[in-house]
Structure 1
Amino acid sequence: MMLVGNLFIGIAVSLLRLSNFGTDPCSTMNLGLSGFLHVSFGIYQLLFNLILLIIVFIFVRHTIGMGTIVNMVGIGFFSDFFLYGYYKLFGSTPLFMTRSIFLVIAILFVAMGVALYMTSDLGIAPYDALPLIIQKLSHDKIPFALARMITDVLAVALGFSFGAVVGVATVIIAFGTGPLVQYFRKHLAEALLQMK
């Protein structure tokens, strides 16, 4: 579940990049900064996650597991590989209709991927642990939901200021995937865990 979930997230990030309608807040920030620094998305994301991992280790080390490593190493490189393969096969930017289909598939894959990898309880991505750190440092004065909103808004603002595309996908993923993730957790991830 953890591996398939992260694979779905990697495909989703690739499709979001191809759709050009924006990406999730963390990818928006990383795409903006990697583009500014002229470094591949995969390499930048790995370096950024290594720095975050040190902070996570200090404050909420219980959130680190095999899923943390797979997420922080795999997503960026898989996304770069998928994009490279797409442009090698098809050569051109997809048409608006194709981009719209990619957007819908990406949103479903993000929700399924997050549901699978988080329900497996094998660790979370360093970025996903940041709200827990904020909550802990504030002594629960800042609840998790508000802390997550703060990190997402800052990530989008930073990415946008460095030239990343912010669009409808960014808004949908930041505010609208919660119910979908919950649906897939209940009807897919938890159902898989209960299977013998």
Structure 2
Amino acid sequence: MDEARSYPYKELWEALKFPFSFFLVILERTDEKKGEILMKKETGLRSLYALIGVAILGFGAALLRVGGVGLDPYTAANIGVGELLGLSLGVYQLMINIAVLVLIFIFGRRHIGIGTVINMVLTGFFIDFYTNVFDWLSVGPNNWWQQGLFLLIGIIFFTFGASFYMSANLGSAPYD
């Protein structure tokens, strides 16, 4: 077991440092008519919803990953390329998502919000974290019906988490 895999909290903490300085810029909304900066009262609560949704989505994706029943194409591609490069999903997905975020910032700035940053920065790290917890607990299917159970429960958590962070309506992300 390598160092990053045995201590997933370090990568999660490193990922959390960047967005907090970036959040102050993202939280400010500019009114197109008046050019005034508006701060919505419920943004903090909605940000918490988005964060909880991403954590739930990560739990569901980790269940699907550990169950060996497949993942969404974006995560599966990031896992594959990350493993080829010797990087964890969280680190590789963060690198790719920063590039995607720059492109979105250039071409579709109106789609960026705090939810975009939360999703793009933390999803891979949550999946890594929960996968490491499941590995540490030796949780995994032993037969086909257990795999089916992982599939069912994983999809329920994945879709519930995605709907939870999308309902916060704080920007678009790859899982939208």
Same fold per superposition (TM over 0.5):
yes
Q: CA deviation at 1:84?
A: 1.1
Q: CA deviation at 1:94?
A: 2.5
Q: Take 1:25 and 1:109, find their aligned partners in 2: how far apart are those partners? A: 17
Q: Indicate if the aligned counterparts of 2:134 and 2:140 stay in contact, CA closer than 8 A.
A: no
- CA, structure 1 residues 106+93, in 2 after alignment: closer, same or farther (shift >3 Å)? closer
Give 1 or 2: higher helix fraction.
1
Percent identical residues: 38
Q: Take 1:93 and 1:116, find their aligned partners in 2: how far apart are those partners? A: 26
Aligned pair 1:116/2:171, yes or no?
no
What root-mean-square deviation, in Å, do the aligned CA atoms of Structure 1 and Structure 2 show? 1.6
The one-letter amino acid paired with 1:3 is: L
Q: Take 1:128 and 1:75, find their aligned partners in 2: how far apart are those partners? A: 10
Aligned pair 1:85/2:128, yes or no?
no
Aligned pair 1:34/2:82, yes or no?
yes
- What is the aligned partner in structure 1 of residue 122 from structure 2? 74
The one-letter amino acid paired with 1:70 is: I
Aligned pair 1:94/2:141, yes or no?
yes
Structure 1, unpaired ranges of 5+: 130-196
Q: Indicate if the aligned counterparts of 1:5 and 1:115 stay in contact, CA closer than 8 A.
A: yes
Q: Secondary structure at the match of 1:22?
A: coil
Aligned pair 1:2/2:50, yes or no?
yes
Q: Take 2:158 and 2:131, find their aligned partners in 1: how far apart are those partners? A: 17
Structure 2, unpaired ranges of 5+: 1-48
The runs of at least 4 consecutive aligned structure 1 residues that moved more than 3 Å come to: none
Equivalent position to 1:19, from 52, 63, 67: 67
Q: CA deviation at 1:128?
A: 4.9
Q: CA deviation at 1:93?
A: 4.2
Q: Take 1:5 and 1:29, find their aligned partners in 2: how far apart are those partners? A: 22
- What is the aligned partner in structure 1 of residue 91 from structure 2? 43
Q: CA deviation at 1:40?
A: 0.6
Q: Indicate if the aligned counterparts of 2:61 and 2:71 stay in contact, CA closer than 8 A.
A: yes
Q: CA deviation at 1:4?
A: 2.0
Q: Take 1:51 and 1:93, find their aligned partners in 2: how far apart are those partners? A: 34
- What is the aligned partner in structure 1 of residue 38 from structure 2? none
| CA deviations over 1:102-124 (Å, ceiling 9, x no partner) | 11011112221222211211112
Q: Indicate if the aligned counterparts of 1:18 and 1:99 stay in contact, CA closer than 8 A.
A: no
Q: TM-score, normalised by structure 2?
A: 0.67
Q: TM-score, normalised by structure 1?
A: 0.60
| CA deviations over 1:66-85 (Å, ceiling 9, x no partner) | 11111111111111111111
Q: Secondary structure at the match of 1:99?
A: helix
Q: CA deviation at 1:32?
A: 1.2
| Count of residue correspondences | 127
